[in-house]
A and B are shown apart, each in its own frame.
Chain A
Amino acid sequence: MNGTKAEVPTVRRDVVVIGGGPAGLAAAVAAKEAGCADVLLIERDRILGGILNQCIHDGFGLHTFKEALSGPEYAARFIDRFRELGIAAMEETIVLSLSADRVLEVSTRGTYQRIEAGAVILAMGCRERTRGAISIPGHRPSGVYTAGAAQNFMNLENIMVGKTVCILGSGDIGLIMARRMTLEGAKVEAVFEILPYSSGLPRNIQQCLNDYGIPLHLNTTVTDIVGKGRLEGIRVAQVGEDRLPIPETERYIPCDTLLLSVGLIPENELTRDAGVGMDPVTGGAVVDDSFMTSVPGIFACGNVLHVHDLVDWVSVEAAEAGKFAACFVREGSCALPSPIPVRPGSGVRYTLPQSVSGERDLTLSLRVSAPWRDRCVVVRDGGREIARKREMRLHPAEMIRIDLKKETVSGCSSLEVTVE
């Protein structure tokens, strides 16, 4: 960059939303509906909707609209509302940096500008973990894709990625792609999962694998990738309790495609730029019960905050963040002191928000650390039980939400959530 900052065109906006997927759309709509006249949404892609555009299967919106919509239809409901409200969007625009005083450097093809924001909502979503992230040894042929990349090729670009397919990881995207590729004429040999249980929703195991006779091998992982140029096959092996491969169980499976569905990573480079405090378990920001991060005026919601399994809850959470961001701009600050920490206890992997004010109703989101049947999720203030929710079925793949009333939380000194 040659110019000094003084020469860069600079504009001032009230609420700036980074990301135009389900979280960003719901946050922008809610901020506008809460009375903020000047909302700007910035999206990297050329269209709004984010990952929903490639999720053409049905099942979205069961909670919000009481209908089983496809991803593009669910997105369209929010995009229509977004347009109705006349909210400004900058597509094909990338945020290069974000500072703690809420100044964004933004680049659109051939242009560069600074935006001083009254409040910022982080809604950048997440990325997929790649082969590199899980260090699978072997050759480096073509034909190894993340499940979402293959989904993008097939559903948006009309490119079939392969004929004989193996899938590593039983995450929902991998399961959905097993069905999708089968319907389009590919042979899906099997899905391999290193854990002793599937990390996808039961309905997807039934409707994407069992319906088509695709086997799911638990306690199994890929140990080698073979092929010069194009993938020729993989080696898989069962793993022991230490999750390390057992050499005697290794076998070779010929295939031309390997899809990886091995987890998602919240995309938080900008968040870290701004010096926002992070939660090492969620991979997202630490927030209070207004979804504000440790940096005043910077809010976070959706998959950039913590990875969700249902888009409906992304929309609900993002709408809260949008409402509080509008309030922050209007009142200078809506932040209440949040002196009550919330901690995950036995059986709980994380809880969100990480601290609460005790001055308003809130929803605790959490994930358990292992599958259980017929247990209770219990919230305690010190030794005193303040809430209990019985669940017939608890699974790490499914987020649990517990509504807490202001009166319940008010006066608590610290909250701990456990599975009992």
Chain B
Amino acid sequence: MSTREFTCVVCPNGCSIVVDVDDDETPVVTRVQGNVCKRGESWARQEVENPMRTIASSVPVRWGDFPLASIRTSRPIPLSKIREVMEEIRKVSVEAPVEIGDVVLPSPAGCDTEVIATRKVRKVR
């Protein structure tokens, strides 16, 4: 058993949440305190058992009017997968033109997400 403290980021209230965790093997939440609403509880549970994050980076663009296109995951991915996903993103480069929403990488590291472009890059000439 251990306790962990979080500042809830679901809404601007920013509740200080204290979570009791049974962490014999994979962490399991046994009690959540300090949250004002239900959403805080499920967020805290998720945060301990399988925290999810959206990550952003950028990839090089050939023949573009800008050298980079910014990208992000279309859905959050497990925090523990970020390094693996970043390694795959690092290998990617694309060719202009790039439109917002273009998929530059489908299901990186087996995650249920797509890496999508978040900026338009025009082709030069």
> Is A183's CB under 8 angstroms from B57's CB?
yes
Other A-B contacts than A76-B100, A156-B67, A156-B68, 12 sampled, CB-CB below 8 A, are A56-B56, A70-B118, A73-B100, A76-B120, A157-B68, A183-B55, A203-B9, A205-B7, A206-B9, A211-B82, A392-B14, A395-B14
Partner of A398, one of B6, B12, B68: B12
User: What per-residue 1/0 map shows which CB atoms of B57-92 lie under 8 Å from chain A?
Assistant: 110100000111011100000010010001000000
Q: Count B-side interface residues using an 8 Å CB cutoff.
A: 29
Knowing A158-B68, A206-B6, the reply to whether A56 touches B12 (Cβ < 8 A) is no
| Most chain A beta carbons < 10 A, residue from B51, B67, B86, B118 | B118
Distance from B16 Cβ to chain A, minimum over Cβ atoms (Å): 8
Chain B min CB distance to A393 (Å): 5
Determine if A131 is an interface residue (Cβ-Cβ < 8 Å). no
Q: Tell me, rounded to whole Å, the shortest Cβ–Cβ distance linking A65 to chain B.
A: 13
**Can you list, as one digit per residue, whether each of B33-50 has a CB less than 8 Å from chain A (1) or not (0)?**
000100000000000000
A57 at the interface (CB under 8 A from B): yes
* Minimum CB–CB distance for A285 against chain B, Å: 27
B residues near A207, Cβ cutoff 8 Å = 9, 53
Residue from the list B13, B36, B58, B60 in contact with A56, Cβ < 8 A: B58
Q: Could you tell me the distance in whole angstroms from the C-beta of A60 to the nearest C-beta in chain B?
A: 10
B68→A58 contact, CB < 8 A: no
Quick check: B53 and A211 within 8 Å, CB to CB? yes
Of the candidates B14, B15, B68, B72, which one forms a contact with A70 in the assembled complex, judged by CB atoms under 8 Å apart? Answer: B72
Q: A76-B120, A158-B58 are in contact. Are A70 and B70 (CB under 8 A)?
A: yes
A-B contact pairs, 12 of them (CB 8 A): A56-B57, A56-B58, A56-B71, A58-B54, A58-B72, A155-B70, A183-B55, A202-B7, A207-B53, A211-B53, A392-B15, A393-B12
Query: Given contacts A156-B68, A205-B7, A206-B6, are A183 and B54 in contact (CB under 8 A)?
Result: no
Whether B14 lies near A56 (C-beta < 8 A) is: no
Task: Scan A132-173; emit 1 where CB is below 8 A from any B CB, else 0.
Answer: 000000000000000000000011111000000000000000
Q: Digitize A174-198: 1 where CB-to-B-CB distance is under 8 Å, 0 elsewhere.
A: 0000000001100000000000000
From A58, A71, A184, A205, name the one whose CB has the most chain B CB atoms within 10 angstroms: A58
